[in-house]
Amino acid sequence: MKTGVLLLNMGGPDSLSAVEPFLYNLFSDHDIIRIPRPVQKPIARLIAKFRAKKTRHYYELMGGKSPQREQTEEQARHLQELLGENYRVEVAMRYWHPFTQEALEKLFSEEIKRLILLPMYPQYSSTTTGSSFKEFERVYRRGGYPQVPVVKVESYHDHPLYIEAMVQNIKENLPDWRDYHFLFSAHSLPMYVIEEGDPYQRQTEETVRLIMESFPGVEWSLGYQSKVGPVRWLEPMTEKLIQELAGEGVKKLAVIPVSFVCEHSETLYELDVQYGKLARELGITDYVRIPTLRTHPLFMSALKEIVLSC
């Protein structure tokens, strides 16, 4: 019997026609958008229809789809090779295929003795890891699957190998790193989530602090991106920081995604296209965006160590 490992991620549309239903699934999630439950789905449908036209353009620039599924599945293959035949690794996406139910059906095609839920979100939030855990519980409870022990990895924001992977990834992609201002960018959250005790901000700040121990003397900032809707969100926003840094005379800027381990619209469109254009218009002559970790060997080693410690 094997140990099953589910890599949990957000997912993204795999075609232009999938953009609207993907957005509907996203805005239907009460853990992300707190619309009164009786009207959440009808309102989610309206929001998805309204935003789909604009969002579709993002994916057109990205080649017609999100690369997140392929990259997460690539991570799963690498982790499978590292763990060996006593483990079975599958991918479970929250808002698009392969959904949790699809992943569990594949997983339980073999005899599984226990399950490990491993989120592709290094920092815990109720809106990401927590939402994926809840979806797993709903599907697992009603699906008639064999009942086995389940281990949930809450976060690994300060895991030494994850931190070292981030450090080495920066150095490999930015040999002259001493010349740059580092701008870390993480997904923002509504402030009410933080005020209710969500550890995401604290864990993100801790991740950045640990990374910067390996870059003495480098100036750095931490910003947040991807705000949606009129409520207060976690700040400062990455866009505003770029404006401020340009005003202070920064010419060389390295933007580092800190809460993402795969590429998707927030890195490939927001950071690369939208913010890159803004930086150049404001006089930042050298704008470098550090790639996400994807299958960086140290990150894969971190995931292996996390699984083996469960």
Q: Identify the pLDDT of residue 74.
A: 98
What does the block give as tokens for 155? Answer: 């976060």
Asked if residues 96 and 14 have their Cβ atoms less than 8 Å apart, the reply is yes
Q: Is the dihedral of CA 131, 139, 99, 75 positive or negative?
A: positive
**DSSP secondary-structure letter at 123?**
S
Tell me, rounded to whole angstroms, the distance of Cα 7 from its chain centroid.
12
Confidence (pLDDT) at 300: 98
Contact status, residue 121 vs residue 129, Cβ threshold 8 Å: yes
Spell out the per-residue pLDDT of the chain, length 310, in tens: 999 999 999 999 999 999 998 888 888 988 877 888 888 998 889 888 888 888 888 899 889 999 999 999 999 999 999 999 999 999 999 999 999 999 999 999 999 999 999 999 999 999 999 999 999 999 999 999 999 999 999 999 999 999 999 999 999 999 999 999 999 999 999 999 999 999 999 999 999 999 999 999 999 999 999 988 778 999 999 999 999 999 999 999 999 999 999 999 999 999 999 999 999 999 999 999 999 999 999 999 999 999 999 9
Confidence at residue 57, expressed as pLDDT on a 0 to 100 scale: 86
* Shared fold status for 1-155 and 160-289: yes
The topology under which CATH files domain 160-289 is Rossmann fold (3.40.50)
Say how far apart CA 133 and CA 6 lie, in whole Å.
Answer: 11
Cβ(202)–Cβ(124) below 8 Å: no
Question: Which 3 state secondary structure label does DSSP give 219?
Answer: coil
Spell out where the chain has E strands: 2-9, 87-93, 112-119, 150-152, 181-187, 220-225, 252-257, 286-289
The CATH code of domain 1-155 reads: 3.40.50.1400
Q: Going by C-beta distance under 8 Å and a sequence separation of 6 or more, which residues neighbour residue 220?
A: 181, 182, 183, 184, 208, 212
Task: Tell me the pTM.
Answer: 0.95
If DSSP codes are grouped into helix, strand and coil, which group holds residue 117?
strand
Separation of first and last alpha carbons in the chain = 17
Distance of CA 208 to the CA centre of its chain: 16
- Predicted confidence at residue 228, as pLDDT, reads 82
What are the residue ranges spanned by the domains of the chain? 1-155, 160-289
